[in-house]
Amino acid sequence: MPSMKKEAKLPVIFNRSELRQLFKAPTLLKHRIVLTLIYSAGLRSQEAINLKLSDIDFERKTIHIRQSKYKKDRIVPLSDYIAKGLIKYISAEHPHIWLFNGKEPDGRYSVKGLSWIIRENLKKTDIRKDVSLHSLRHSYATHLLEDGVNIVTIKELLGHAHITTTMIYLHVAQIAPGGAHSPLDTLYPQK
């Protein structure tokens, strides 16, 4: 018997003004930082709670994501904005091993805790879309695509095993037509 196809739904993403609204909503610095970091690096919730202090390289401006889905490591850029926020957060909260301390037996924050943070802070905004914590990751990929980053680079940043997984964002991104032209027109410099 043939397997039934899964429903193909497009991801729901935040627009940029909704993100600014969401990131302003938390009263706790830790909550503001975790939400902003997830968007800024396109993290899965499990990746966010598994981050250690040693995974953040402020000098090289990178975040090392270790043994994520498919047991792969990857390195993503560290935003200048989030770097400033992380420095402020680290000096205020003094995390030890994990970037986000929590009540799990090993001292980490929990995925349920992250879901609670976004749910509670969405209530403080006028965002009425059916969004979740993973919508921050979808928004990251879509906004990179809209900013002109090529799909192969986005695939690597997200840690996708297959390009077909990343291509869903082509249906969501609003990309202005690039003006089709003949390559002969750009072969010779204009005088």
pTM (predicted TM-score) = 0.88
CATH of the domain at 103: 1.10.443.10
**Confidence tier at 92 by pLDDT (50, 70, 90):** very high
Indicate whether 50 belongs to any domain: yes
Indicate whether 39 belongs to any domain: yes
Instruction: Establish whether 94 is a catalytic residue.
Output: no
Instruction: Establish whether 137 is a catalytic residue.
Output: yes
- What's the pLDDT score for residue 126? 97
Indicate whether 183 belongs to any domain: no
Indicate whether 179 belongs to any domain: no
For the chain, give the mean pLDDT: 92
Would you call 20 helix, strand, or coil by DSSP? helix
What is the tens place of the pLDDT at every residue in 160-185?
Answer: 999 999 999 998 988 776 666 677 77
Indicate whether 4 belongs to any domain: no
Indicate whether 74 belongs to any domain: yes
d(CA 87, CA 152): 31
d(CA 56, CA 39): 16
Q: What is the DSSP letter of 57?
A: E
**Confidence tier at 1 by pLDDT (50, 70, 90):** low
Q: What is the DSSP letter of 123?
A: T
Average pLDDT value for residue range 90-106: 93
Give the structural domain span for 135: 16-173
Residue 52 pairs in a beta bridge with 98
Report how many domains make up the chain.
1
Indicate whether 181 belongs to any domain: no
- What's the pLDDT score for residue 119? 97
Indicate whether 139 belongs to any domain: yes
- Tell me if 86 sits within 8 A of 36, measured CB to CB: no
Say which residues have a Cβ less than 8 Å from residue 142's Cβ, sequence separation at least 6.
11, 13, 169, 172, 173
Distances (CA, A) of 39 to 13, 103, 143, 181: 11, 23, 10, 35
- Tell me if 142 sits within 8 A of 113, measured CB to CB: no
- What's the pLDDT score for residue 150? 94
d(CA 173, CA 175): 6
Marked catalytic residue, from 69, 72, 124, 129: 69
- What's the pLDDT score for residue 69? 83
Marked catalytic residue, from 44, 108, 138, 155: 44
Q: Is the pLDDT of residue 2 over 70?
A: no
